[in-house]
A and B are shown apart, each in its own frame.
Chain A
Amino acid sequence: KAGVTQTPRYLIKTRGQQVTLSCSPISGHRSVSWYQQTPGQGLQFLFEYFSETQRNKGNFPGRFSGRQFSNSRSEMNVSTLELGDSALYLCASSFGGSGQPQHFGDGTRLSIL
């Protein structure tokens, strides 16, 4: 079956702009989590959505937001982009129970100029 799909793969933006990233989970998965990965900090949890509701949230500013649609597809939005937002943004899906393995997409590489 198809894996997790993230679009776009690469994105270049300038400071102050906003961006929307998309994630299509594995069919049947109801949980979608978003992570930010940078060389210095590693994988940092942003938030998790389950059945269209945000279930968990990491320690990121309000500029980072997300949503999930009824078909479990999810979008992540970052407003007022800063240079420090340059990172690989990864989406992961699972059935949603505790301990379920996370199935990751290959990410969106966001570069801020």
Chain B
Amino acid sequence: SQKIEQNSEALNIQEGKTATLTCNYTNYSPAYLQWYRQDPGRGPVFLLLIRENEKEKRKERLKVTFDTTLKQSLFHITASQPADSATSLCARLSYNTDKLIFGTGTRLQVFP
């Protein structure tokens, strides 16, 4: 089966540090991975998409990597702020359909 695995334990870091969240996938490499953030009681918000042939993608303080050898994507938030506190969700495209398969998410807490 095609799974997305994210660390279920919350990540707690100090303001100003770099937060790194991990997303591992099984079986076939997806054509792309998407990252979203979700605040409590709200729907997920799209952040970044990285394609299979891209090693790295950046957007302001956010950086995503895609390693097809390790079957892993890393999501980095540099100079983290308390406002970055949210659950980060990773999603992959299903192999033979256009369905998105989401991980269960990792909660990030940034302390001042």
The answer, yes or no, to whether A55 is at the interface (CB within 8 Å) is yes
What is the total of A-B residue contacts with beta carbons within 8 Å?
55
Contacts of B99 in A (CB 8 A): 45, 48, 56, 58
- Dominant secondary structure of chain A at its interface with chain B: strand
In A42-76, the 8 Å CB interface with B consists of 42-45, 48, 55-56, 58
Interface of B is mostly: strand
Task: Contact check, B102 vs A92: say whether CB atoms are below 8 A apart.
Answer: no
Q: How large is the interface on B (under 10, 10 to 19, 20 to 34, 35 or more residues)?
A: 20 to 34
| Chain A, range 87-113, C-beta contacts under 8 Å to B | 90, 92, 98-99, 101-107
The residue on A at minimum CB distance from B42 is A106
| Bound complex: CA A43 to CA B98 (Å) | 16
Chain B residues with CB under 8 Å of A43's CB are 44, 89, 91, 102
The proximity string for A residues 19-44 relative to B, scoring 1 for CB distances below 8 Å and 0 otherwise, is 00000000000000101000001111
Which residues of A pack against B, CB within 8 Å?
Answer: 4, 33, 35, 41-45, 48, 55-56, 58, 90, 92, 98-99, 101-107
